[in-house]
Amino acid sequence: MNEFVNQVFHADARHLLAKLPEESIDAVICDPMYGTAKNYEYEWGIDPANGDPELHWEYHKPIYEECRRVLKPGGALAWGQGAKFCEHFQDWLGNHRVWTITRFRPKGKSATGHAWVVQTREQKPIPMPDRDSLVICDNVGPIRKLHPCIKMVEELKFVVEELTKPGDIVLDCCCGLGSTLLAAEQLGRRWIGCDISQRYSQIAKLRMENLRSHMESQGSLRTQKDFIADRC
């Protein structure tokens, strides 16, 4: 696993997942294409599902099944999914809970929400944590213009912190600009990321480099061995 851990790959999720050993990942936190907007053009082209739920799941089901395969027993899966398809969640994903996290920008005019379908490898629902799920996103910045549906690091820190422990391996096989990976890094988790877009994967790498430089300058960069030792 060393060749995969703490690396960002430009790859199709299906190809990377096929290379990962069974039961090797502690948590999968993945936010794939929503598929709810017709003719929506992503970085890698037009949404192949064109807003059709059956075509959407036909494309994503193999990715979902591979995510379950690589999870350790009892491992957590958080699958970002457009609420427009909520009537299909049970058929597609089995037993689950929907976590709704609200993002609020103090300088913005409104709050927005995002739904995560959360379960274990065995499709056992993972309840929403008994804590406030309002996350404050202070500094969105120009990066918001680089992706049609970027997720904020603050939101992903909520998910990563609740589903994993320090030293765990977090996989995001549709990592976009790398927010899940940045959240994992800040919380002392190991991580693996990939995206089908070369541009997005390059931006994710650059964001990680910038984060590590900042953490090092602040004296907050610790080794993975430190975090693993904390857990033992």
Residue 144 has pLDDT above 70, yes or no: no
* Residue 2 lies inside a defined structural domain of this protein: no
Per-residue pLDDT, averaged over 99-114, amounts to: 73
Instruction: State both tokens at 166.
Output: 């320090």
* Residue 196 lies inside a defined structural domain of this protein: yes
Burial class (CB in 10 A: 0-12, 13-18, 19+), 106: exposed
Q: For strand 7-10 and strand 25-30, is the pairing parallel, antiparallel, or unpaired?
A: unpaired
Rounded to 5 degrees, φ, ψ at 99 are -95, 125
Residue 157 has pLDDT above 90, yes or no: yes
Per-residue pLDDT, averaged over 31-52, amounts to: 64
Provide the domain limits for residue 218.
Answer: 7-34+61-82+91-231
Query: What pLDDT sits at residue 52?
Result: 85
Q: What is the percent of the chain with per-residue pLDDT over 70, rounded to a whole number?
A: 78
Query: What pLDDT sits at residue 192?
Result: 99
Dist. CA 207–CA 211, nearest whole Å:
6
* Residue 54 lies inside a defined structural domain of this protein: no
Tell which wins on pLDDT, 109 or 189: 189
Q: Which of 121, 225, 131, 139 is nearest to 182 (CA)?
A: 139
pLDDT band (50, 70, 90) for residue 227: very low
Dist. CA 11–CA 192, nearest whole Å:
12
Query: What pLDDT sits at residue 89?
Result: 94
State the total domains in the chain.
1
pLDDT band (50, 70, 90) for residue 202: very high
Residue 79 has pLDDT above 90, yes or no: yes
Tell which wins on pLDDT, 112 or 8: 8
Q: Using H for helix, E for strand and C for coil, what is the string for 68-126?
A: HHHEEEEEEEEEECCHHHHHHHHHHHCCCEEEEEEEECCCCCCEEEEEEEEEECCCCEC
Mean of the per-residue pLDDT values of the chain:
86
Question: How many CB atoms neighbour CB 221 within 10 A?
Answer: 14
Dist. CA 152–CA 178, nearest whole Å:
10
pLDDT band (50, 70, 90) for residue 230: very low
CATH of the domain at 190: 3.40.50.150
Query: What pLDDT sits at residue 57?
Result: 92
pLDDT tens for 177-197 read: 999 999 999 999 999 999 999
Per-residue pLDDT, averaged over 85-114, amounts to: 83
Indicate the range of 32-36, 64-68, 176-180 predicted with least confidence: 32-36
Per-residue pLDDT, averaged over 119-139, amounts to: 89
